Structure formats: C-alpha cells, structure tokens
Amino acid sequence: MTLINGLPAHVLLVHLVVVLVPLTALALVAAAVSRRAARRMGLVLPVLALVTLLGVPLTTQAGEWLERHVSDDALVRRHAELGDGLLPWAVGLFALAALVWWAARPATASGPDSAGGSFWSTTPVRVAAVVLSLAVAAGAVVDVYRIGDSGAKAAWHDGFSQSASNGDAAR
C-alpha cells in the first residue's frame, strides 16, 4: 500500500494503530480483571485484537514505503526503528485477548467446567492473566506513544515557524 487519495498511506493508517492499540489494551485489561466484562465483550475482544494485529504490519509496510520516498534523516530512521518493535506487542495483545475470551466464555450444555469455567476461576490463572494483560497492555501503549512521538518529531522538526505569520498576527 502506497497512496490513498494522493496521500501517503502511512499518514492515514497510523491513526488506525494509534486508536486501536490503546483501545485493545484497555479492553484486554478490563476483560482480564472482570470475567463479567469479558463475557459482555464476547467475541468482540479477540476480533478487535486481530484487527489491531493486522493493522500494525500494514501501517509499518506503508511507513517503509514512505521512508524510501522522503529525504534521509536520523529522526525518520529512529521512527522506523521504533515502529518495527510494535508487532510483538500487537501479537501479545491478540494472544492474551484470545486466551481471556476463551477462558471466560459461557459454559456449554456439557457442564459448567467444559468451557473454561474451572480454568478461569483458579486464582493463580486469574492473577497471571491480569498481570500479563497489564504488562502487555502497558508495553503496547507506551510503545505506541514513543513511536508516535518520534514520528511527529520526524515530520515536524523543521516544518513550522515559532512565530505567527503576518496574517495571524493581525487577528
């Protein structure tokens, strides 16, 4: 993917990642902490995490295309390096979202323990799910922030004036 309506695709796709990664992280933590929240979200949780996971390499690929079409700059290289590190966090979000969804799904007609009921209700498993979810969610959100900050610096470091233009000064 290179251009969308004449604009570099990365510039548009990055908004998908900036919104979906924190949203997925928040949903994952809520579902891990509360079985009721996990059940209410249902299949939406792993589907949201899957869309997030698919959006990361798509955005990264579009960013690599854009990197080849802008001037060589240390800030752009740093942003690209940081961007390459988001995929493992997205994989972690998806894996944990799938696990939490599976473990919290309602029992089937076969019995209360057949659909993960006893698995999810054991304290060590719940604690591990919550701790892992918090760690991966925090890591993903911090990484998105760092990547976005470096991208904004790369895009805007020389792109604006500290003083207002003449037209703005009169207002």
pLDDT per residue as tens digits for the range 106-115: 765 455 444 4
pLDDT per residue as tens digits for the range 13-68: 999 999 999 999 999 999 999 989 999 999 999 999 999 999 999 999 999 999 99
How far, in Å, are 20, 97, 128 from residue 38 at the CA level?
18, 9, 16
How far, in Å, are 74, 79, 128, 149 from residue 154 at the CA level?
8, 7, 38, 9
How far, in Å, are 6, 16, 63, 147, 167 from residue 100 at the CA level?
41, 23, 32, 27, 55
> Residues 83, 60: contact at Cβ < 8 Å?
yes
Please identify which residue in the block is written with the tokens 């800030």. 75
Name the band, by pLDDT with cuts 50, 70 and 90, for residue 71: confident
| pTM for the whole structure | 0.85
